[in-house]
Structure 1
Amino acid sequence: MASAMPDRDAGPGVRLPPPLVFLAGLGLGFLLQRIAPLAFAAQGQPLPRWLGGLLALGSAALALWAFRTFHRAHTTVRPDRSASTLLTGGPFRFTRNPLYLSLSLLHAGLAFLANALWPALMLVPVLLLIRYHVIAREERHLLGLFGAEYQAYCRRVRRWF
């Protein structure tokens, strides 16, 4: 019995929009922060703000680089649609998931900027959801589309960093 070729138009089957997952985690974290405040540092300490600013700037730079790479390759950035190209250049040389890494950096950066520990703690369940309900589906899809080429890419480049 021959194995069926993946339907290029079917997409990976991602049902959770990653930006909304991060936004929900951030929102829940700030709600918990309001109910039971936890800070990284004493009020007025500049380190959390500096660190948060650096993380947010790094996030923006990485996202811009990744979006430009998608645009140049004429492939979709949407995780619910099928990829037309296996991206291995730009930030994809260093991480297989630069946009999820960017959203993670932004999430952490906003928590540090607010000197709020709860939003940072909520990043853990967010990352678990992204890893097992988004990335896993994307990886199966890319493996089906690009086979050995994708396997070789996975051996060369780590998932996050």
Structure 2
Amino acid sequence: MAFARFVTEGLGTPAPVAPTERLVVGGPYRYVRNPMYVAVDATIAGQALLLARPVLFVYGGCAGLLMWAFARWYEEPDLGRRFGADYDRYCEAVPGRWPRLRSWDPDSTAY
């Protein structure tokens, strides 16, 4: 679902070689800026719990750190340059890693 939003709403893909033309803020992106990264982290944590393998927690921590670094130092500056004030407003309202309890409405002035 999150990936499909890039195609239908953003008119592009998550890949840097074919980026979106529009800022994607619908669906799961109204709750958290990086839902695919959060899903990967949650999946690895679930596997670690289910299989009782502590090494998977280490792997998940390393993967999470790499995804955070990529988002922080590549994606966020790039999106800020491409979408300007709209992206800044979105970042103020929607957290990057921990989902909001309520959906953000981009047409609202409330955060």
Common fold by TM > 0.5? yes
Matched, 1:92 2:68: no
| Unmatched segments (≥5 aa) in structure 2 | 99-111
- For 1:142, which of 56, 66, 79 is the aligned residue? 79
Identity percentage over the alignment? 31
* 1:113 equivalent in structure 2: 50
- For 1:157, which of 79, 94, 101 is the aligned residue? 94
How many residues align structurally?
96
Structure 1's consecutive aligned runs of 4 or more residues displaced over 3 angstroms after TM superposition are none
Higher RCO (C-alpha under 8 Å, 6+ residues apart): 1
- For 2:65, which of 114, 118, 128 is the aligned residue? 128
Q: 1:150 to 1:71 in 2, by over 3 A?
A: same
Kindly provide the amino acid, as one letter, of the partner of residue 53 in structure 2: A
* 2:5 equivalent in structure 1: 69
State the Cα distance separating 1:77 from its structure 2 match.
2.1
- State the distance in 2 between where 1:80 and 1:111 align: 33
Question: Which one has a bigger Cα radius of gyration?
Answer: 1
* 1:103 equivalent in structure 2: 40
TM-score (normalizing by structure 2): 0.77
State the Cα distance separating 1:128 from its structure 2 match.
1.5
| Unmatched segments (≥5 aa) in structure 1 | 1-64
